[in-house]
């Protein structure tokens, strides 16, 4: 999707397909996804619920639902060929992930200090007497006040924002090269949201990590990411630098998403919402899954998924009749 | 520090139950239809001995005073006198308690040793054959009377296969028990270094312990499975996996520990059941424990031992529950807080 | 496809279970009702010449130490065991629900006291309590029934208490009171359809426990006395003969016990499947 990179991509995915259930006739939930991410790149993965963005991200983090069936031509993450060697070397060590609802994502009966120490020990990032200071340093890095006292605190004693910071510290504890953030600010109040995202951005930059931000909020994506990938019903439809996407969306779905955002709408009428809903997947699903909701669809859209077209400055999209 | 506070808090919460238990046991024998003095004097009493009993047991006082005296007696360890043995009931019970405990604890250990791994395996492989086995054991276990299972085991393993020794108590009458240190003949035989004797004692224990313990396997396995399945699906286990923690650690430190509290509660329930079923198993296997003692007394119309037995068993159960509550609070600090 | 197949087989299994449960229940009810009339031999009549004979064509379940036909005794015992169980559960149900409903309605001190009573009952190992009650009330069948009832009472009391106390605070109750209707009647009419299903499931399971409890008490010699035919006491009588190999004396009454308890358990499951639409 991007210009031929000088250094090899951190992440390279070709033909990623994820299915659920034993019904062979049912179209896959994630359909033939192709993706490259460079070291240090900050990418946003955007789409409605059911777009497959979380599944893709969870695949990268190595925590795909065991009921899911995955197939791919290529799945390389930070030098590890996942298809050949599996995810064991990947989790926490190359890829870290933070989730929404952080308090539920932390072990309620183990102090946050010990949870952090567990990760340090698992990856050998610190050991023995070096662990305690490493834990304090990690908490300081995520701006938790009074870290020395906090290491014996339990998640139930912390606010939502603090839990989110702890989760970030845990994700970073293995010194990964990629951070996946799965809707990290859902459920937090607006001030905390921006504080957390700013912290995330700062930490990622300081460690020269790549990051993938999963979100349904385009404005958020625009504010923090340099590149935005738009997904619809398990298919990537557009992949462009953030500014270019907003200035000149090529795929009809992206354009609708942008106008559906309150900040971008010029008038209330523009908040049209997007007609229809995310399609159920069955034998009648068209090749381009947006076809049924698209005002520009033509017969070809139903039978053949449009191949990738890349235009100047790396603006890529899949559409037979782009805007 | 926090632990002591939790223990004290739980003990205080359990205190009213203790009062209730004592009150109920008191009422049981003092609202008998008929003359309680006649009951306590025994079936072969004369009018004079009945009166003497009435006075001796303070049955001529009013109910409230009797209750006060009863409680005071309990506090001093006075559980009355057994007509049959002529001994204080407390002494009789103390002498027989280790035999019963050896059974109950052995059964509990068996239930845990079989039930927890079974439940864990079923949780890690839902809908596998282990899962079905768990359900089957549970259903059949709940429908089988304890005494019937004991008899079936005796018939198969003693009469038919001759693998087990005769179900005639704790030890073959030819052998003599180990020198008394704890009252638990397994421990005492081991302490005395007498391995053949230890083998004989264990041999006698096998069938009764299996009979009792088998009933605990079902509930423990089921609760382990359910609790672990729920915990394994939790967000924090997902985080632990994603953070790359070793699978062993994820299973035990992050999953099992969080699943423990409901299992502990089930253990409490199983223990309550075991204390009751103990009585039946002692009957089947001729075991000289407190249950057999109480039943023999009951059938001979000797009521003080029965009363003492009920109080002691209930008290024991309250203490065990207290222990379980404290253990749960230690594992899960949240339990201690909202109590 | 595999999902629906799995669900299908689960439903079929449940249906088989229900059919078996209902069939067995019918067998027991018929046995209880007609047992004494269809028993091939007089369950109480001793026949010393035929003592301790193994199962044969003339005595399908064999005979006991007195020469009594075990099949006849097992058949006739059905009535006694079922009556004990049903009586105990009925008492537990009515008294428990009444106590619980009263506690839930009145709140305050009555609620606390009744709550304490229930907690105290549950603080005993239940079989131990049953022995104590049977001891206190004398060695008879009625004390076995009362003991079993007391031990089963808390489940009903707790259920009724929580249902009633929840409904008591509902707005419609206040409105009814203002309008002059009897709020108690209204609450009962309202909660009845709600608590009836779980109550039925619970009662079915309790019937199984009641049989277990009563059999245990008779096994150790409480309540039922020789020569009455009752499953528990028959197992006890048969126990002594294990050493001489007369297995039929304890196996058949024991099996009857097991099957009866299993039947009520399956019926409870079937009721639960029937009444809980979410599980379909």
What percentage of chain A reaches a pLDDT higher than 90?
40
Using CB atoms within 10 A of its CB, is residue A251 exposed (0-12), middle (13-18) or buried (19+)?
A: buried
Q: What is the average pLDDT across B247-269? A: 93
pLDDT bucket at B298, cuts 50 / 70 / 90: confident
Query: Cα(B203)–Cα(C120) distance, rounded to whole angstroms?
Result: 38
- Which of C 29-58 lie inside 8 A of B, CB atoms? none
Query: Cα(B57)–Cα(B80) distance, rounded to whole angstroms?
Result: 9
What's the gap in Å between the CA of A95 and the closest CA on chain B? 8
pLDDT bucket at B147, cuts 50 / 70 / 90: very high
* Whole-prediction pTM: 0.84
- Above 50 in pLDDT, residue B338? no
Predicted local confidence at residue B19, as pLDDT: 82
Interface test with A, best of B236, B249, B333 (most A CBs within 10 A): B236
- What are the φ and ψ backbone dihedral angles of A265, each rounded to 5 degrees? -65, 140
Residue B2: list chain A partners with CB under 8 A.
Answer: none
Instruction: Return the minimum-mean-pLDDT range out of A44-58, A265-279, B172-186.
Output: A265-279
Quick one: DSSP state of residue C53? P
Predicted local confidence at residue B17, as pLDDT: 81
Q: What is the average pLDDT across B103-110? A: 94
Q: What is the average pLDDT across A89-111? A: 92
- Cβ partners under 8 Å of residue C34, min gap 6: none
pLDDT bucket at C17, cuts 50 / 70 / 90: confident
Q: What pLDDT digit, counting tens, does each position of A44-60 carry? A: 999 888 888 889 999 99
For CA atoms B302, B304, B306, B307, give the dihedral sign.
Answer: positive
Q: Quick check: C140 contacting B, CB < 8 Å?
A: no
- H or E segment and range at residue A236: strand A235-241
Instruction: Return the minimum-mean-pLDDT range out of A214-228, A253-267, B129-143, C48-62.
Output: A253-267
Q: What is the average pLDDT across C179-207? A: 76
What average pLDDT is seen over chain C? 84
Inter-chain Cβ pairs, chain B and chain C, closer than 8 A: 150
Query: Cα(B247)–Cα(B284) distance, rounded to whole angstroms?
Result: 46
Q: Which chain B residue's Cα is nearest to C128? A: B276
Q: Between residues C194 and B270, which one has the greater pLDDT?
A: B270
Query: Cα(A136)–Cα(A149) distance, rounded to whole angstroms?
Result: 9
Neighbours of B263 (CB within 10 A): 23
Predicted local confidence at residue B50, as pLDDT: 76
Q: What is the average pLDDT across C98-119? A: 86
- Above 90 in pLDDT, residue A209? yes
Q: What is the average pLDDT across A219-248? A: 91
Q: Quick check: B156 contacting C, CB < 8 Å?
A: no
Residue B152: list chain C partners with CB under 8 A.
Answer: 251, 254
What's the gap in Å between the CA of B134 and the closest CA on chain C? 16
- H or E segment and range at residue A16: strand A11-19
Interface test with B, best of C220, C240, C265 (most B CBs within 10 A): C220
Predicted local confidence at residue C280, as pLDDT: 45
Predicted local confidence at residue A3, as pLDDT: 55
Q: What is the average pLDDT across C80-105? A: 90
Closest CA to A154 of A112, A187, A182, A106: A112
Predicted local confidence at residue B36, as pLDDT: 66
Q: What is the average pLDDT across A270-288? A: 71
Predicted local confidence at residue B220, as pLDDT: 93
Instruction: Return the minimum-mean-pLDDT range out of A208-212, A216-220, B108-112, C194-198.
Output: C194-198
Q: Which chain B residue's Cα is nearest to A89? A: B244
Predicted local confidence at residue B339, as pLDDT: 41
- Above 80 in pLDDT, residue C197? no
Predicted local confidence at residue B152, as pLDDT: 92
- Chains touching chain B through at least 3 C-beta pairs below 8 angstroms are A, C
Residue B146: list chain C partners with CB under 8 A.
Answer: 216
- Above 90 in pLDDT, residue A278? no
Q: What pLDDT digit, counting tens, does each position of C254-269 carry? A: 999 999 999 998 888 8
Q: Quick check: B335 contacting A, CB < 8 Å?
A: no
Do residue B17 and residue C138 have CB atoms under 8 angstroms apart?
A: no
What residues make up the domain containing C157? 13-38+70-279
pLDDT bucket at B112, cuts 50 / 70 / 90: very high
Contact C232, C226 (CB under 8 A): no
Q: What is the average pLDDT across B309-325? A: 88
- Strands A178-182 and A95-98 turn out to be parallel
Interface test with A, best of B242, B246, B257, B261 (most A CBs within 10 A): B242
Residue B32: list chain C partners with CB under 8 A.
Answer: 136-138
| A215 to A185, A218, A236: CA distances (angstroms) | 9, 7, 14
Q: Quick check: C179 contacting A, CB < 8 Å?
A: no
Predicted local confidence at residue C278, as pLDDT: 55
Q: Quick check: A110 contacting B, CB < 8 Å?
A: yes
Instruction: Return the minimum-mean-pLDDT range out of A50-59, A66-75, C6-15, C218-227.
Output: C6-15
What average pLDDT is seen over chain B? 85
Q: What is the average pLDDT across B167-190? A: 83
First to last CA, chain B: 17
Return the CATH number at C138. 1.10.3720.10
Q: Which chain A residue's Cα is nearest to C6? A: A22
Residue C134: list chain B partners with CB under 8 A.
Answer: 298
Predicted local confidence at residue B85, as pLDDT: 81
Q: Quick check: B334 contacting A, CB < 8 Å?
A: yes
Q: Quick check: A92 contacting B, CB < 8 Å?
A: yes
Q: Which domains does chain B have, with CATH numbers?
A: 2-27+95-338 (1.10.3720.10)
Contact C69, C61 (CB under 8 A): yes
Q: What pLDDT digit, counting tens, does each position of C115-135 carry? A: 888 888 888 888 888 888 887
ipTM above 0.95, yes or no: no
Instruction: Return the minimum-mean-pLDDT range out of A128-132, B6-10, B244-248, C214-218.
Output: B6-10
Inter-chain Cβ pairs, chain A and chain B, closer than 8 A: 74
Interface test with A, best of B244, B250, B327 (most A CBs within 10 A): B244
Q: DSSP per residue over B43-81, as a string?
A: TT--HHHHHHHHHHTTTTS-HHHHHHHHHHHHHTT---B
Structural domain includes residue C76: yes
- Above 80 in pLDDT, residue A277? no
Q: Quick check: C171 contacting A, CB < 8 Å?
A: no
Predicted local confidence at residue B53, as pLDDT: 74
Query: Cα(C258)–Cα(B144) distance, rounded to whole angstroms?
Result: 5
Residue C7: list chain A partners with CB under 8 A.
Answer: none
- Above 90 in pLDDT, residue B243? yes
Predicted local confidence at residue B69, as pLDDT: 79
Query: Cα(C19)–Cα(C31) distance, rounded to whole angstroms?
Result: 18
Residue B231: list chain A partners with CB under 8 A.
Answer: none
Alpha helices, DSSP H, located in chain B: 2-30, 36-41, 47-56, 63-75, 89-124, 129-143, 146-153, 185-191, 195-232, 235-242, 247-249, 257-285, 290-299, 303-331, 333-338
pLDDT bucket at C183, cuts 50 / 70 / 90: low
Instruction: Return the minimum-mean-pLDDT range out of A264-278, B23-37, B247-261, C189-203.
Output: A264-278
> How far from chain centre, in Å, is Cα B338?
28
Instruction: Return the minimum-mean-pLDDT range out of A45-54, A178-187, B70-79.
Output: B70-79
Query: Cα(A112)–Cα(C226) distance, rounded to whole angstroms?
Result: 67
- Above 70 in pLDDT, residue A268? no
Q: Between residues B34 and A276, which one has the greater pLDDT?
A: A276
Highest mean pLDDT among A177-181, B32-36, C95-99: A177-181
- Which CB contacts under 8 angstroms, 24+ apart, belong to C239-242? C239/B147, C239/B151, C239/B284, C241/C52, C241/C65, C242/B151, C242/B154, C242/B155, C242/B159
Structural domain includes residue C43: no
- Chains touching chain A through at least 3 C-beta pairs below 8 angstroms are B, C
Q: What is the average pLDDT across C154-173? A: 80
Q: DSSP per residue over B195-225, as a string?
A: HHHHHHHHHHHHHHHHHHHHHHHHHHHHHHH
Q: Quick check: A170 contacting B, CB < 8 Å?
A: yes
- Above 80 in pLDDT, residue B207? yes
| C240 to C64, C74, C215, C243: CA distances (angstroms) | 11, 18, 17, 7
Do residue B276 and residue C251 have CB atoms under 8 angstroms apart?
A: no
Predicted local confidence at residue C6, as pLDDT: 63
Provide the domain count of chain C. Answer: 1
Closest CA to A137 of A150, A122, A153: A150
Q: Which chain B residue's Cα is nearest to A58? A: B242
């Amino acid at each position: 999707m991007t210009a031929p990179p000088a250094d090899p991509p951190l992440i390279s995915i070709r033909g990623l397909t994820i299915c659920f259930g034993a019904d062979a006739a049912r179209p896959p939930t994630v359909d033939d996804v192709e993706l490259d991410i460079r070291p240090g790149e900050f990418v946003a993965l955007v789409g409605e619920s059911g777009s497959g963005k979380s599944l893709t991200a969870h695949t990268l983090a190595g925590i795909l639902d065991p009921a899911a069936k995955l197939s791919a031509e290529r799945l390389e993450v930070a030098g590890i060929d996942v298809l050949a060697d599996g995810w064991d070397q990947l989790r926490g060590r190359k890829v870290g992930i933070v989730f929404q609802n952080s308090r539920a994502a932390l072990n309620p009966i183990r102090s946050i200090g010990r949870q952090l120490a567990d990760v340090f020990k698992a990856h050998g990032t610190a050991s023995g007497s070096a662990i305690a200071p490493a834990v304090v340093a990690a908490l300081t890095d995520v701006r938790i006040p009074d870290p020395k006292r906090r290491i014996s605190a339990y998640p139930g004693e912390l606010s939502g924002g603090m839990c989110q910071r702890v989760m970030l510290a845990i994700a970073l504890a293995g010194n990964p090269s990629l951070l996946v953030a799965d809707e990290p600010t859902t459920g937090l109040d607006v001030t905390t949201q921006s504080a957390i995202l700013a912290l995330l951005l700062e930490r990622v930059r300081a460690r020269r990590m790549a990051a993938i931000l999963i979100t349904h909020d385009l404005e958020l994506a625009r504010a923090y990411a340099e590149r935005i990938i738009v997904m619809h019903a398990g298919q990537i439809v557009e992949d462009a630098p953030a500014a270019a996407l907003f200035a000149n969306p090529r795929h009809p779905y992206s354009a609708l998403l942008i106008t559906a955002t309150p900040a971008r709408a010029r008038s209330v009428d523009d908040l049209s919402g997007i007609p229809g809903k995310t399609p159920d997947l069955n034998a009648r699903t068209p090749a381009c899954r947006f076809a049924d909701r698209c005002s520009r669809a033509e017969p070809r859209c139903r039978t053949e998924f449009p191949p990738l077209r890349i235009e100047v400055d790396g603006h890529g999209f899949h559409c037979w009749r782009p805007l | 520090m926090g632990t002591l506070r939790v223990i004290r808090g739980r003990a205080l919460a359990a205190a009213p139950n203790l009062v209730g238990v004592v009150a109920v046991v008191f009422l049981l024998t003092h609202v008998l239809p008929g003359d309680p003095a006649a009951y306590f004097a025994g079936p072969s009493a004369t009018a004079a001995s009945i009166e003497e009993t009435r006075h001796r047991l303070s049955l001529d006082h009013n109910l409230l005073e009797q209750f006060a005296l009863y409680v005071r007696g309990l506090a001093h360890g006075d559980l009355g006198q057994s007509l049959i043995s002529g001994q204080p009931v407390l002494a009789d019970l103390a002498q027989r308690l280790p035999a019963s405990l050896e059974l109950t604890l052995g059964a509990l250990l068996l239930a845990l040793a079989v039930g927890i791994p079974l439940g864990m395996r079923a949780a890690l492989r839902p809908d596998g054959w282990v899962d079905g086995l768990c359900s089957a054991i549970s259903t059949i276990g709940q429908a089988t009377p304890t005494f019937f299972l004991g008899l079936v085991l005796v018939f198969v393993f003693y009469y038919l296969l001759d693998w087990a020794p005769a179900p005639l108590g704790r030890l073959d009458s030819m052998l003599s028990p180990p020198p008394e240190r704890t009252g638990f003949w397994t421990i005492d035989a081991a302490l005395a270094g007498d391995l053949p004797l230890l083998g004989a004692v264990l041999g006698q224990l096998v069938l009764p312990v299996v009979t009792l313990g088998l009933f605990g396997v079902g509930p423990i396995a089921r609760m382990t499975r359910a609790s672990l399945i729920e915990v394994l699906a939790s967000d924090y286990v997902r985080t632990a996996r994603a953070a790359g923690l070793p699978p062993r650690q994820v299973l035990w430190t992050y999953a099992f520990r969080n699943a423990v509290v409901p299992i502990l509660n089930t253990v409490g329930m199983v223990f309550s059941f075991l204390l009751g079923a103990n009585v039946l198993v002692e009957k089947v296997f001729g075991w000289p424990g407190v249950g057999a003692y109480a039943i023999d007394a009951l059938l001979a119309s000797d009521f003080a031992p029965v009363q003492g037995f009920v109080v002691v068993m209930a008290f024991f159960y309250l203490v065990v529950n207290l222990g379980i509550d404290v253990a749960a609070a230690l594992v899960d600090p949240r339990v201690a807080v909202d109590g | 496809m595999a999902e629906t197949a799995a669900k299908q087989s689960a439903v079929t299994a449940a249906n088989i279970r229900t059919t078996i449960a209902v069939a067995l229940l019918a067998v027991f009810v018929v046995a209880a009702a007609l047992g004494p009339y269809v028993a091939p031999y007089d369950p109480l009549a001793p026949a010393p010449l035929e003592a301790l004979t193994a199962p044969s064509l003339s005595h399908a379940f064999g005979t006991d130490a007195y020469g009594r036909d075990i099949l006849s005794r097992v058949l006739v015992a059905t009535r006694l065991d079922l009556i004990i169980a049903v009586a105990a559960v009925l008492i537990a149900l009515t008294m428990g629900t009444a106590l619980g409903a009263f506690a839930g309605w009145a709140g305050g001190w009555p609620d606390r006291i009744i709550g304490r009573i229930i907690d105290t009952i549950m603080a005993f190992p239940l079989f131990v309590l049953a022995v104590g009650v049977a001891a206190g009330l004398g060695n008879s069948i009625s004390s076995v029934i009362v003991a079993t009832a007391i031990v089963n009472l808390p489940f009903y009391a707790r259920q009724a208490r929580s249902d009633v106390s929840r409904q008591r605070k509902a707005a419609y109750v206040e409105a009814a009171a203002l309008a002059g209707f009897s709020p108690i009647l209204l609450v009962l009419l309202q909660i009845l359809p709600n608590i009836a299903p779980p109550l039925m499931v619970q009662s079915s399971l309790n019937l199984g426990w009641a049989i277990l409890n009563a059999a245990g008490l008779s096994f150790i010699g409480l309540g039922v006395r020789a020569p009455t035919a009752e499953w528990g006491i028959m197992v006890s009588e048969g126990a002594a003969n294990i050493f001489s190999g007369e297995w039929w004396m304890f196996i058949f009454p024991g099996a009857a016990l097991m099957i009866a308890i299993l039947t009520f358990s399956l019926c409870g499951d079937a009721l639960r499947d029937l009444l809980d639409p979410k599980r379909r």
